[in-house]
Structure 1
Amino acid sequence: MGLVAGCASERARDPQDLTTWQDDVASVLAARCGECHTGDDAAAGYDLSTYNGALGVGSDDVANAIAGDAGSTILTTLIHAAGDDPHVTLQDILPLLEAWVVDSDLAYFDAPPHPAGFLNPADPSFHGAELQAEGWDFALCQRCHGDDYGGGTSGKACLTCHDDGPTACDTCHGQPPETGAHHTHVAGGPLDRRVPCGECHVVPTRWDDPGHILLADGTVDPPPAEVVLGPLAARDVDPPVRTAPPSFDPATKTCSAVYCHGGIFTDAEAAHPAPMWTGADQAACGSCHGRPPASHATSDCATCHPRTIDAAGQLDLTTHLDGVIDVGDGSGQCTGCHGDVAVGPAPPRALDGSRATTVVAVGAHQSHLLAPHGLRGPMACTECHLVPATVTAVGHIDSALPAEVFPTGAGVLARADSANPVWDHDAATCSGVYCHGGGASLSSDANPGFERTPTWTVVGGGEAVCGACHGIPPAGVAHTPDMQISDCTTCHPSVDQYGGIILTGPPDALTSLHIDGHVDLR
């Protein structure tokens, strides 16, 4: 072995008359070939701007240069160039390249006591291959290059190529490796933060920790690298939905039941909940859950998840994929999505943030919940809506907007006295509701000033005043046209001697016999 023969016995060899990349070839290729063969867009995929690029394969998967091979592509391309082939003008450098490829075995530099191919990954004498054959005994390197690999007695530092030393991660593989989706995970992206290596692998403290390169008995740990999924992949949500542990199948190169790709949610609309490591677009929005998920009725993410995504579709990576499904402000309360903690659960604010009463989603909510008109005590949300026990209760957020009004099970007062309440969202009006004069008892009462079809978005405009629901006095039995409002108290205990509505109870829970579902008489 060149490593053993050179380093273990500390023998020097005389410098050879080598043509090397460092001293002879690199500058010529840069000047003569660099215009076409540089970087990711190099012609035919051959990047001649670096040593490994000059040795590597192009778009045809054929090695560009093979040590000692006069038939190497880098030579035959010039040998056979003719006519208008642009390589014709480069035939003058053919002798230099032949001396490098054939006679000097693609030497990077002349570095006694090492053989010419010491830095060529494809050469049997490549230093990495020889070090592996010696059981990764880095003491052989340190003998000449110093304990810190900074040069030692040789004066040549390993750190010239190995920035963090030859025992760093990127000596054997990229940091991250180039294969599969390593870069996508480690670099992070628009959907998630950077994923540390430890989320998928047991990261060794030292390169020689058992289970990394070598097993505990000293034998080589064969590839591929073991995938041991970490806490991110194993996350669940509250309430729990996980039915299986996270796993990686090396045969199909797929993950399953991993939180970070939505594998725990069983969403039929998700495109890639079991992502393939080498697949394309496995982590685009819509891969982990549908847009929207199958259980969602709306695709406006920001309406329900404003702490995670804004109206422009920009994600907050501190809350996305954090193990918590943030709904509203995350409090789990009604006011987390609509209403205001200081006032109550009904709008304003609406789901979209609106606060104007002229917006249907806001309208007269507060007029009902706070009852500032004084015609009765506050009305409960249940008079118009089914109030869910939890955020995810059936009938709450599993149907399209707008919210259902007067569904079965809601509106006991609105349906009193055989009333048949109807809500017209387009017109923003109620009709046939008991609380605005509907029902059998007042069916014969007529007055040009009635507002029995009140407009929801007109607040403070006479939609709820005395005389808007029934006449003063109502027409019909027991009422005469000459009755005054002060006469109401004679028969009705719900009003005082001046015709004002009597409210009882604490300020935050006022009640009244007026508009309570039946006619109260003394």
Structure 2
Amino acid sequence: MKYIISYLAVFIVIIFAAACSEIADDITTPQEVNIHQQGVLNSSSNNFHGKIVSENGFKDCQQCHAADFAGGTAGQSCVDCHSSIAVHQDGLKNPSSPNFHGKFFAPHGVMMNECSDCHGVSYEGTSLSPSCDRCHSGISVHKEGIVSSSSPNFHGKFIKAGNWNLEECAQCHTENYAGGLAAPTCNTCHSKPGGPESCNTCHGDFSDVSKIAPPKDLSDNTATTFAGVGAHSSHLINTTIGNVACESCHVVPNEFETTGHIDSNPKAEVTFHGIAGSGSYSSTSLTCQNTYCHGNFEYLKANASEQNQIAYIADKMTGNNFSPIWNKVDGTQAVCGSCHGLPPTGHIAATLTGCGICHGSVVDTEGNIIDKTKHINGQVNVFED
């Protein structure tokens, strides 16, 4: 009996071993799984990995490439192509955080196409990534044609559409526009003092920082028929009057962001100062009214010196108080005699050629202005004074 049990045990062991052998023989070696199909690195391919990420998120990537995308079990670091940017850490949107996304651009050589890989070619966002427009408005300055003024993608057109808000430029190019996080400096093209904030960037002659008044105006118009251009040049470059300062008609800002400079109304406010201070301007009729410059003046005989009173035939001399049309620059709005009569009302009879007898420091015997600083200067210059 003892031998029977022993033989039976041996038999069972043999049967069990044979069965195990058959199971082992039936085991199929698993096929190698290759989730990176052909085209995984080709952004135009349906198998491009970025499209998978946009649908499924980063978790699948992190299973093989590690939580920090440095390689992991896959042995392939994502940062080989995506620089060393780590935009998914805490502080991503906090400018004071070392993980702020904007701080990776310059030091890591990150280009904007890396952002568009996830946020879309126009940065409008995808199912995975939020729209960059949430913080960066609707500006898309990184398209082809950004520095071409004739391109619909010219950066200046976006700035104008955003009511000249340069804060978005400064976010990447720093407050002095020298480059900063975005690397390119705005001052290469905007080389005048003040950089992009120089007055002649938006109005005036872009090539000449001394010419800050239109033409051109904010809409790039140069014709005097446009209200933004009008008679600016006639006032600033003139042979018959002293050069009119911007302050005579406008409140000139101390800096670009001075309150009142950039506001919801793109039209320049006209606020007369100095000898023109009593005047007003109508943006409807485009006329200047009640300005000393165009004849709103009176000189009382009682205030004149005794020798000068002989020129009066009334108790005062007055001008014509002419209201010139701002955008009618054809020579008719400031012709000699339009602002005051020849002679002025209340003055003894005289001819234009005789003005020089008493006003010889201002005009010659032909009536030509010889010292423009004494013409429309707020006083009467008589007998060489």
**TM-score, length of structure 1 as denominator length:** 0.42
CA contact (8 A) 2:291 2:321 kept: no
Is structure 2 residue 369 aligned with structure 1 residue 501? Answer: yes
1:344 aligned to which of 203, 206, 211: 211
- Which of 457, 469, 487 is matched with 2:327 structurally? 457
Pick from 322, 327, 333 the counterpart of residue 198 of structure 2: 333
CA RMSD after TM alignment: 4.8
Tell me which amino acid in the other structure corresponds to 1:497.
T
Assess, with a 3 A threshold, how the Cα gap between structure 1 residues 413 and 226 changes in structure 2: closer, same or farther.
closer
Cα shift at 1:398: 2.8
Listed one character per residue, the Cα deviations across residues 231-257 of structure 1 (whole Å, up to 9, x for unaligned) are: x967xxxxxxx5x3266xxxxxxxxx7
How far the C-alpha of 1:426 sits from its partner, in A, is: 0.6
Partner of 1:413: 275
Change (3 A) 1:467 1:290: same
The answer to whether structure 1 residue 385 and structure 2 residue 247 are counterparts is no
Amino acid at match of 1:455: I
The question of whether the paired residues in 2 share the 8 Å contact of 1:202 and 1:228 is answered with: no
Residues 207 and 460 from structure 1, CA distance in 2 versus in 1: closer, same or farther, beyond 3 angstroms? same
Q: What are the within-5 Å matches in structure 2 for residues 480-495 of structure 1?
A: 480-481=348-349, 483-492=350-359, 493-495=361-363
1:512 aligned counterpart, secondary structure: helix
Partner of 2:336: 466
Gaps of 5+ in 1: 1-11, 17-111, 120-126, 129-157, 166-172, 184-200, 214-224, 235-241, 248-256, 261-276, 293-301, 504-510
Distance in 2 separating the partners of 1:428 and 1:421? 13
Map 1:303-382 → 2, pairs under 5 A:
307-309=155-157, 322-323=172-173, 331-340=196-205, 341-342=207-208, 344-371=211-238, 374-382=239-247
* Structure 1 counterpart of 2:373, from 500, 505, 512: 512
Return the structure number with greater relative CO, CA threshold 8 A, min gap 6.
2
Question: The residue matched to 2:281 in structure 1 has which SS?
Answer: strand
Q: CA deviation at 1:402?
A: 1.1
Runs (5+) with no aligned partner, structure 2: 1-22, 41-47, 59-66, 79-85, 104-124, 140-148, 163-168, 178-185, 301-314
Matched, 1:432 2:290: yes
1:245 matched to 2:97 = yes
Aligned CA distance change for structure 1 residues 320 and 395 (closer, same or farther; 3 Å)? closer
SS where residue 489 of structure 1 aligns? Answer: helix
CA shift, 1:401, in A, is 2.2
Corresponding residue for residue 221 of structure 1: none
Q: Whole-Å Cα distance in 1 between the matches of residues 258 and 220 of structure 2? A: 23
Question: Residue 259 of structure 2 corresponds to which residue in structure 1?
Answer: 394
Residues 174, 13 of structure 1: alpha-carbon distance in 2 compared, 3 angstrom cutoff: farther
Q: 2:53 aligns with which of 178, 199, 203?
A: 178
Distance of aligned partners of 1:312 and 1:502 in 2 relative to their CA distance in 1, 3 Å threshold: closer
> TM-score when scaled to structure 2?
0.55
SS in 1 for 2:288: strand
For residue 321 of structure 1, report the CA deviation from its aligned partner: 7.2
Q: Residue 375 of structure 1 contacts residue 514 of structure 1 at CA under 8 Å; is this kept in 2?
A: yes
Shift of 1:288: 1.3
1:148-187 equivalent positions in 2, closer than 5 A: 163=38, 174-175=49-50, 178=53
- Tell me which of 126, 131, 135 is aligned to 1:288: 135
TM-aligned CA deviation for residue 347 of structure 1: 1.1
* Shift in CA distance, 306/351, structure 1 to aligned 2, threshold 3 Å: farther
Q: How many residues align?
A: 268
Instruction: Label 1:461 to 1:164 Cα distance change in 2 as closer, same or farther (>3 A).
Output: closer
Distance 1:363 1:350, change over 3 A: same
Shift of 1:307: 1.9
Paired residues of 2:93 and 2:101 also in contact (CA < 8 A): yes
Q: Aligned AA for 1:283?
A: S
Query: CA–CA distance in 1 between the matches of 2:243 and 2:87?
Result: 64
SS in structure 2 of the partner of residue 423 of structure 1: strand
Q: CA deviation at 1:174?
A: 4.9
Q: CA separation in 2, counterparts of 1:490 and 1:358? A: 39
Deviation per residue, 1:357-381 (Å, 9 max, x gap) = 111111111111111xx32122111
In 2 relative to 1, CA 458–412 (structure 1 residues): closer, same or farther, beyond 3 Å? same
Deviation at 1:337, TM superposition (A): 0.4
User: Is the alpha carbon distance of 1:412 and 1:279 closer, same or farther for their aligned partners in structure 2, counting shifts above 3 Å?
Assistant: farther
**SS of equivalent to 1:368:** helix
- Per-residue CA deviations over 1:459-478 (Å, capped at 9, x if unaligned) read 023111211111111122xx
Deviations 1:383-412 (A, max 9, x none): 111222222122211341211101xxx521
Amino acid at match of 2:356: T
From 353, 363, 382, give the equivalent of 1:521: 382
Counterpart residue type for residue 307 of structure 1: H
Task: Say if 2:299 is the partner of 1:441.
Answer: yes
Measured in 1, the distance between the counterparts of 2:289 and 2:243 equals 20
Q: Is the contact made by 2:203 and 2:216 (CA closer than 8 Å) also made in structure 1? A: yes
Contact conserved, 1:437 with 1:469, CA < 8 A, in 2? yes
Distance 1:365 1:381 in 2: 10
